Chain A
């Protein structure tokens, strides 16, 4: 099975306090710890497991600047066979739809049976996978938390739905799926694994290489534009307890007693 996994390099929101810069034009990016988007990591793991079971190739694709290469390499160290890095200055202000068009242009070259993305990234949009599927005119399912290959024409897919329930579908290949966290336990990548793929060449392609006109993928093509960043109004917010640890403990125990939190 030929599998393409789309991954993204992101600031790790669980490791970082994200702050807005002084101009409100971006977040403060100095000193941020970047990594592969958490959901994407599950998608790569799932792809590798499928390949190990039924054979084939796993290709990791990412759209992003020069530093994106380290993320592709890390996913190759997990066990992906190939990497593709789509990088061009004109991609910088791409919206979700433009990104999907860039990925579609590369995916259409590849004869992939299965295209996986993470269910979302830290911007919470979860849009690119469904768009790529629609552009390629193949079926899509999101929030996938179970995947079983039935034969070389179809797969069994479980989707997460409300209340911890699972929607089961049979889907014809080729298709696009967005993978939810928890579907597997992604393997650990050690320094030795990274070293092993350190010299593997990762092909780099820009708009021209993909046969895309610059004005079709540049800022002008974006229908959705981010105007600024700001800190959300905290509303009433919590009463933050201050003071020494002892004072905080006393106050908290008092509140818990008053609210019926202690039996």
Chain B
């Protein structure tokens, strides 16, 4: 029996998210012979543009066109998907802000297994899918087995799979709007109002070639001084990871990561930053990464170019002193 895999396509302003091509690779890793279909909700010209864009990557595309999907609310699209997705199929969704909103409930409504945040797949045997996840901020990994009897909803970590650039597929669009809207527009008890854009800070960290980025390892607000002094000695700008903003020690505009800014420096110093995938997701352009962290197991050492297993509270002032000669 052919495995049926659906890839849910995220898009914004008429352009598909990077995950659209990554999910093709993920699907092939689940089953090289699977029938892989894109499923996409949206409205009007934006939706048409995304269908054309991803056409070469997918044999078939199921589109759901509705004014109610002009901004996609997870509760609305969830019940539409329940109406169109065949029982027993596998649905892949990127593990990000929207995927986390949609997927757990979708799995319940489909009575399918739910596998969150998969980073690799190892095929299907005896109706069970073997997959890899990470736990404890990437300090350890686990193999998990997923019972596919009633299908599965799987969120896939962005950036974990290479984009499939093969192209040349049929991209045949099937309009599933009628089936999705049968019974009316669902999800009336959660109503989208607006998107509030991020505030612009006093410094634009996206423009800097050298970033000195600080994380939880700084321990106390008063210690930020040593990071500012290092940045000054380097002629760099200070940025940070999420815990620093959560603690209100720095403004949101300084945060690097998928929920903050996307930066493209030439050199990135990560001080006391563990290196979660959400943080690394905000660093583009393949900079030279220097990691200083007292935990030798910190995942940042897997992605950095050079690492120092040191306590930043001691090492950073010494580095500043050295630079100031």
Contact residues of A with B, CB < 8 Å? 11, 13-14, 17-20, 27, 96-97, 100, 119-120, 122-131, 133-135, 138-143, 156, 158-172, 175, 181-182, 185, 223-232, 234-235, 237-241, 245, 248-250, 252-253, 255-256, 259-263
Closest Cβ–Cβ distance, residue A156 to chain B (whole Å): 8
Is B195's CB within 8 Å of the partner chain A? yes
Once the chains bind, are A225 and B140 in contact (CB under 8 Å)?
no
Once the chains bind, are B195 and A161 in contact (CB under 8 Å)?
yes
Closest Cβ–Cβ distance, residue B316 to chain A (whole Å): 11
Once the chains bind, are A131 and B114 in contact (CB under 8 Å)?
yes
Closest Cβ–Cβ distance, residue A80 to chain B (whole Å): 21
Q: How many A-B residue pairs have CB under 8 A?
A: 270
Q: A237 CA to B107 CA in the complex, in Å? A: 36
Once the chains bind, are A224 and B248 in contact (CB under 8 Å)?
no
Which parts of B40-75 form the interface with A (CB within 8 Å)?
73-75
Q: Which residues of B contact A125 (CB under 8 A)?
A: 116-117
Contact of A229 among B73, B108, B142, B199 (CB under 8 A): B142
A168-B193 contact, Cβ under 8 Å, with A18-B136, A143-B100, A260-B210: yes
A-B CB proximity, top 9 nearest? A263-B235, A130-B104, A164-B198, A238-B307, A134-B108, A261-B267, A182-B246, A134-B105, A223-B113
A interface: dominant SS: mixed
Closest Cβ–Cβ distance, residue B153 to chain A (whole Å): 10
Q: Interface segment, B30-38, B170-178, B253-261?
A: B253-261
Q: CB-nearest residue of chain B relative to A235?
A: B302
Q: A133 CA to B242 CA in the complex, in Å? A: 27
Q: Which residues of A contact B3 (CB under 8 A)?
A: none
Once the chains bind, are B309 and A143 in contact (CB under 8 Å)?
no
Once the chains bind, are B253 and A228 in contact (CB under 8 Å)?
no
Q: Which residues of B contact A168 (CB under 8 A)?
A: 192-196
Most buried by A among B103, B114, B236: B114
Contact of A224 among B115, B255, B306, B318 (CB under 8 A): B115
Is B134's CB within 8 Å of the partner chain A? yes
Q: Which residues of A contact B234 (CB under 8 A)?
A: 256, 261-263
Q: CB-nearest residue of chain A relative to B148?
A: A223
Which parts of B183-202 form the interface with A (CB within 8 Å)?
187, 189-199
Contact of B291 among A139, A164, A238 (CB under 8 A): A238
A162-B323 contact, Cβ under 8 Å, with A96-B116, A248-B308, A255-B306: no
Number of interface residues of B (CB under 8 A): 98
Q: Which residues of A contact B191 (CB under 8 A)?
A: 169-171
Q: Which residues of A contact B138 (CB under 8 A)?
A: 232
Once the chains bind, are A163 and B140 in contact (CB under 8 Å)?
no
B interface: dominant SS: mixed
Q: Which residues of B contact A263 (CB under 8 A)?
A: 210, 234-236
Q: Which residues of A contact B209 (CB under 8 A)?
A: 260
* 0 or 1 for each of B283-325: is its CB under 8 Å from A? (1 = yes): 0000011110001110111111111111000010011001100
Q: CB-nearest residue of chain A relative to B138?
A: A232
Is B164's CB within 8 Å of the partner chain A? no
A97-B140 contact, Cβ under 8 Å, with A163-B261, A225-B145, A252-B308: no
Once the chains bind, are B195 and A167 in contact (CB under 8 Å)?
yes
Contact of B307 among A170, A223, A239, A256 (CB under 8 A): A239
Q: A154 CA to B291 CA in the complex, in Å? A: 46
Once the chains bind, are B136 and A11 in contact (CB under 8 Å)?
yes
Once the chains bind, are B307 and A227 in contact (CB under 8 Å)?
no
Q: Which residues of A contact B115 (CB under 8 A)?
A: 224
Closest Cβ–Cβ distance, residue B233 to chain A (whole Å): 8
Once the chains bind, are A230 and B322 in contact (CB under 8 Å)?
no
Q: A151 CA to B191 CA in the complex, in Å? A: 16
Q: CB-nearest residue of chain A relative to B287?
A: A259
Is B207's CB within 8 Å of the partner chain A? no
Q: Which residues of A contact B196 (CB under 8 A)?
A: 158, 165-166, 168
Q: Which residues of A contact B236 (CB under 8 A)?
A: 261, 263
Q: A140 CA to B189 CA in the complex, in Å? A: 9
Q: Which residues of B contact A175 (CB under 8 A)?
A: 189-190
Most buried by A among B136, B297, B322: B136
A139-B246 contact, Cβ under 8 Å, with A235-B302, A240-B309: no
Q: A30 CA to B55 CA in the complex, in Å? A: 53
Contact of A253 among B137, B150, B322 (CB under 8 A): B322
Q: Which residues of A contact B252 (CB under 8 A)?
A: 164
Once the chains bind, are B242 and A122 in contact (CB under 8 Å)?
no
Q: A228 CA to B105 CA in the complex, in Å? A: 27
Task: Identify 5 new A-B residue pairs, CB closer than 8 A, beyond the known A18-B139, A126-B100, A230-B142.
Answer: A13-B139, A140-B75, A167-B192, A223-B150, A256-B290
Q: A44 CA to B119 CA in the complex, in Å? A: 31
A241-B142 contact, Cβ under 8 Å, with A11-B136, A130-B103: no
